[in-house]
């Protein structure tokens, strides 16, 4: 939230959620941060690959771009891919104007 206070309009997160936390939390957390901060969120993850040996990490994948309203604008599956999304930064300002929760925030 500090970056939002400093004027950020896009947060980019790297992540490598596993096969347990990925399905449960990966998209949920991205959408929550986008709505909490009224900005775009882009999250990149390594693709899922078959383990070469027992104990190798298996990533969930699913790189994603989220709007300030929490909508999924673009996403991938678990395979290697590139996410493309057009971000209209005026959407951030419009969202912040229509729901002025940061203007109503107490600083004490």
Residue 60 contacts residue 48 (beta carbons within 8 Å) = yes
- pLDDT, tens only, 61-107: 999 999 999 999 999 999 999 999 999 999 999 999 999 888 877 77
Which helix (DSSP H) or strand (DSSP E) does residue 66 occupy?
Answer: strand 64-66
pTM (predicted TM-score): 0.90
Helices and strands, number each (H, E), in the chain = 4, 4
Q: What is the pLDDT of residue 1?
A: 74
Cα gap 21→43, rounded to integer Å: 15
- pLDDT, tens only, 18-58: 999 999 999 999 999 999 999 999 999 999 988 788 889 99
Q: For residue 78, what are its two tokens?
A: 């678990």
């Amino acid at each position: 939230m500090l970056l939002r206070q400093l004027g950020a309009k896009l947060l980019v997160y790297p992540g490598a959620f596993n096969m347990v936390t990925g399905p449960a939390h990966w998209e949920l957390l991205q959408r929550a941060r986008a709505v909490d901060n009224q900005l775009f969120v882009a999250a990149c993850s390594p693709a899922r690959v078959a383990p070469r040996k027992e104990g190798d990490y298996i990533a969930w994948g699913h790189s994603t771009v989220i709007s300030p309203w929490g909508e999924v604008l673009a996403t991938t599956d678990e395979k290697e891919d590139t996410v493309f999304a057009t971000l209209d930064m005026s959407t951030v300002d419009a969202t912040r104007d229509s729901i002025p929760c940061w203007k109503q925030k107490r600083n004490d």
